[in-house]
């Protein structure tokens, strides 16, 4: 069965998020662990979590893909921003343990002029200071489009980060279809080649989730502007090949397309229809 969901609103807690996912026909979801622009996180309501666990079991939910706030930059040239990223990340990881065994995805960061090698070292430094042996959460590095000074638009950069992290068994990768396309990986005419390259450089065992988005721009544009499924340069057929690819088909797919709830329900129905069971 296709594991699919979209990025739901987290303001109402876990039960509300599960209901949004179910209403759209999903069996997983993504959510911000706090306001995407940063700030204090709401305290975890253990009753809400317990009720959510029931709903999740009853409906066969799959691994959730939480998203860290966009504002965290573990490789900023500003030491205060690096410190803020580390503290927030550590706090989020502690909160994720209230819903154990899920994924926490983050944008590796922007090196803001320090150069990609310094960026890689600083991202790894942060991970080395926040990851804990006993955690059940797997932290996912997201593949990026290469906009501005983003680190992580080449598979080699993600590999270099993973190599520098001691507890790398707690790390995985989330492949964003819009981002890799914008980053120059042609998943339309050579999906097999891109997957083989990912396997060679990072290893398919590290690939844990997919952000399924179309792109408003051509391959290699480094823009990162998401389009609705089938309304961008990647197109519906190529995205159907992504969800059905033997190396990807068991992963959770998360829509981050510009849609309202009805739009997500439509895309989920379309993709379920296209999934070969
Ligand atoms: Fe993201
Ligand atoms: Fe994404
Ligand atoms: Zn994006």
Of all residues in the chain, the percent with pLDDT exceeding 90 is 95
**pTM for the predicted model, two decimal places:** 0.97
* CA of 252 relative to ligand 3 center, distance in Å: 17
Per residue in 201-259, pLDDT (tens digit) is: 999 999 999 999 999 999 999 999 999 999 999 999 999 999 999 999 999 999 999 99
- Which one, of 214, 204, 205, lies nearest residue 180 by Cα? 214
CB of 24 within 8 A of CB of 253?
A: no
Write out 170-232 in H/E/C secondary structure. Answer: HEEEEEEHHHHHHCCCCCCCCHHHHHHHHHHHCCHHHEEEEEECEECCCCCCCCCCEECCCCC
Tell me if residue 86 is catalytic.
no
Q: What is the pLDDT of residue 277?
A: 87
Per residue in 130-173, pLDDT (tens digit) is: 999 999 999 999 999 999 999 999 999 999 999 999 999 999 99
* CA of 70 relative to ligand 3 center, distance in Å: 10
Query: DSSP H helical segments within 59-111, as ranges?
Result: 79-96
* CA of 106 relative to ligand 1 center, distance in Å: 6
Catalytic residue among 92, 150, 176, 214: 176
Does residue 275 surpass a pLDDT of 80?
yes
Give percent helix, percent strand, percent coil of the chain, each to the nearest 5: 40, 15, 45
Query: Where does the pLDDT of residue 36 fall: very low under 50, low under 70, confident under 90, or very high at 90 and above?
Result: confident
User: N- to C-terminal Cα distance for the chain?
Assistant: 6
The DSSP bridge pattern shows strands 214-215 and 226-227 to be antiparallel
Catalytic residue among 107, 111, 159, 170: 107
Query: Where does the pLDDT of residue 35 fall: very low under 50, low under 70, confident under 90, or very high at 90 and above?
Result: confident
Does residue 194 surpass a pLDDT of 90?
yes
């Amino acid at each position: 069965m296709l594991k699919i969901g979209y990025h739901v609103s987290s303001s109402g807690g876990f039960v509300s998020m599960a209901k949004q996912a179910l209403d759209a026909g999903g069996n997983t979801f993504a959510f911000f662990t706090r306001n995407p622009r940063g700030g204090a996180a709401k305290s975890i309501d253990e009753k809400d979590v317990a009720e959510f666990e029931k709903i999740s079991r009853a409906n066969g939910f799959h691994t959730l893909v939480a998203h860290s706030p966009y504002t965290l930059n573990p490789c900023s040239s500003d030491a205060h921003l690096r410190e803020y990223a580390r503290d927030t990340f550590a706090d989020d990881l502690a909160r994720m343990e209230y819903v154990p065994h899920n994924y926490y995805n983050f944008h590796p960061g922007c090196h803001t002029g320090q150069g990609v090698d310094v960026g890689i070292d600083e991202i790894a430094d942060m991970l080395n200071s926040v990851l804990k042996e006993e955690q059940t959460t797997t932290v996912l590095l997201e593949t990026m489009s290469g906009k501005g000074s983003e680190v992580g638009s080449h598979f080699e950069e993600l590999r270099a980060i993973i190599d520098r992290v001691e507890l790398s068994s707690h790390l995985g990768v989330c492949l964003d279809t819009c981002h890799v396309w914008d980053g120059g990986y042609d998943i339309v005419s050579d999906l097999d080649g891109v997957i083989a390259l990912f396997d060679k450089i990072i290893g398919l065992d590290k690939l844990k989730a997919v952000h399924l988005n179309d792109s408003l721009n051509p391959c290699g544009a480094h823009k990162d502007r998401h389009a609705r499924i089938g309304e961008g340069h990647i197109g519906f057929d190529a995205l159907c090949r992504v969800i059905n690819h033997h190396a990807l088909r068991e992963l959770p797919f998360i829509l981050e397309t510009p849609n309202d709830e009805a739009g997500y329900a439509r895309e989920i129905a379309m993709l379920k229809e296209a999934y070969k069971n």
